[in-house]
Structure 1
């Protein structure tokens, strides 16, 4: 077991709230320096202050992960601040999306969801992996149980998270033997503000909020599990029992999970009128 998450020179995207903020705070508690990147500069500054209060150091950076040039700027800013290349990259930034079936989901919703949730991670890997390959370190990509369960009315989100899962597995193969550890986090409901996302139908958001209150885990718990697993060199982190059950059920009976998800989908409220 390494202690890569301790004393790290870490970059966290989507650090302004939720899982990203919890990553930044925990890395700071572990003695790290954390670049807290977010589309919202105000929340990024709040997280950087939390990192300082937790015993580490924090730098707020405004960044849209869907824009390649901004990710290059983020990499350069981080290296200047650290005085060295980043040793740990957390590709976490994401938005919520869902509520309508394929064919009714507006194409702009598809594009924005994929731009942030998939291309944001692709940009993070494209920009930072060459540095990690040369200097060593780790990368944690935040996917979701939706990447292998595929609930109905969440196609764009499911596709993006499945892509993050596939990208992470590919990276793990390509980086084997280089000293770079790749981890992909696949949680179920976590108590964050993601259900208030820009691409979620209002009725679907209300239903998701109820489920989150009833079954959601604290982001701090999920983050601690992810970082500890990363230090142990694990590729997949499926931190909740419900997600692990669905993971193995899907492997043992590939048709069972889609059928069960389809039955659940019939219980969901219809979307709001366009």
Structure 2
């Protein structure tokens, strides 16, 4: 048995690497881990933002380190995996692949360059994180992974094709790893939220008529906060649960899609033109 026996929770005093830790859910994960006695490497493409998170963690009495990392770059993620152990003076016990970007638009109006940008971060970032940390976890006999997907991974909302594809892939990757790595004492949880107040859409690429609406929905009409999402996800990981679907609307979409996929898609198609008239 490894450290993750029934008596020990993987988020207690974790040695964690969190990507996209400079803001939003990544920062909330980092803060909550610090409150649980953890040591955290805060990775972000924006080093200054990562350093701000580190200052917050140090204010809680935790050890934390800021690292600049483009998760879509395999060499940078490999360096992150190797350097994290040196920085913390301990092997990594938890990796949270959180970094992500937002992209919207009609399928035939989204450029291949935008597709590549979205895949670079949302999908390859998670693949790289798993690729470089899983062998280390296997070697040490334990580990834990949280992959941040989205309810978009199963809701298949129109005009979000690229984003949906990346998040559904993260969901499939997480489900596969959960089954494959169970025998290695490696726990996996995949987070699938709907609206969470973060900067993902503000810093993303959306059609002009959606950008204001998306920002308003995220900041003023979400059912939860990034802090609550982080706490729930970490608790679910501790409980050995694979899925974290934190909001009632996400759970409703999940149940509808699973109960009748074809009917769900038809209803979505009928409602799409009505929604378009509303936002325009």
If the length of structure 1 is used for normalisation, what is the TM-score?
A: 0.95
User: Is 1:243 paired with 2:250?
Assistant: yes
Shift in Å at residue 216 of structure 1? Answer: 4.3
Query: How large is the RMSD of aligned CA atoms in angstroms?
Result: 1.6
Check conservation: 1:87, 1:138, Cα contact below 8 A: yes
Check conservation: 1:204, 1:269, Cα contact below 8 A: no
Q: How many residues align?
A: 271
* Partner in structure 2 of residue 220 of structure 1: 227
* Partner in structure 2 of residue 262 of structure 1: 269
* Partner in structure 1 of residue 53 of structure 2: 47
* Partner in structure 2 of residue 139 of structure 1: 145
Shift in Å at residue 270 of structure 1? Answer: 9.7
Q: Secondary structure at the match of 1:175?
A: helix
| 1:86-165 mapped onto 2 (5 Å cutoff) | 86-98=92-104, 100-135=105-140, 136-165=142-171
Check conservation: 1:201, 1:271, Cα contact below 8 A: no
* Distance (whole Å) between structure 2 residues aligned to residue 119 and residue 261 of structure 1: 29
| 1:21-32 mapped onto 2 (5 Å cutoff) | 21-32=27-38
| 1:2-81 mapped onto 2 (5 Å cutoff) | 2-81=8-87
* Distance (whole Å) between structure 1 residues aligned to residue 192 and residue 152 of structure 2: 8
- Residues 93-120 of structure 1, C-alpha deviations (whole Å, 9 max, x = no match): 000110x211211111111001100000
Shift in Å at residue 132 of structure 1? Answer: 1.1
Decide whether aligned partners of structure 1 residues 263 and 56 sit closer, same or farther in structure 2, where only a CA change above 3 A counts. farther
Larger mean Cα displacement after TM superposition, 54-63 or 192-201: 192-201
Decide whether aligned partners of structure 1 residues 269 and 21 sit closer, same or farther in structure 2, where only a CA change above 3 A counts. farther
Shift in Å at residue 34 of structure 1? Answer: 0.3
- Residues 65-98 of structure 1, C-alpha deviations (whole Å, 9 max, x = no match): 0000000111111010122220000000000110
* Distance (whole Å) between structure 2 residues aligned to residue 251 and residue 196 of structure 1: 31
Shift in Å at residue 229 of structure 1? Answer: 0.2
* Distance (whole Å) between structure 2 residues aligned to residue 244 and residue 271 of structure 1: 25
Shift in Å at residue 258 of structure 1? Answer: 2.2
Question: Which of 156, 175, 188 is residue 169 of structure 1 equivalent to?
Answer: 175
* Distance (whole Å) between structure 1 residues aligned to residue 205 and residue 63 of structure 2: 33
Decide whether aligned partners of structure 1 residues 167 and 129 sit closer, same or farther in structure 2, where only a CA change above 3 A counts. same
Check conservation: 2:223, 2:247, Cα contact below 8 A: no
- Residues 101-154 of structure 1, C-alpha deviations (whole Å, 9 max, x = no match): 112111111110011000000000001011112221100000000000111100
Shift in Å at residue 56 of structure 1? Answer: 1.5
Decide whether aligned partners of structure 1 residues 269 and 128 sit closer, same or farther in structure 2, where only a CA change above 3 A counts. farther
Shift in Å at residue 178 of structure 1? Answer: 1.2
Question: Which sections of structure 1, spanning at least 5 residues, go unmatched?
Answer: none
Check conservation: 1:97, 1:197, Cα contact below 8 A: no
* Distance (whole Å) between structure 2 residues aligned to residue 60 and residue 69 of structure 1: 17
- Residues 226-264 of structure 1, C-alpha deviations (whole Å, 9 max, x = no match): 000000011111111111111111111102332333344
Check conservation: 1:149, 1:247, Cα contact below 8 A: yes
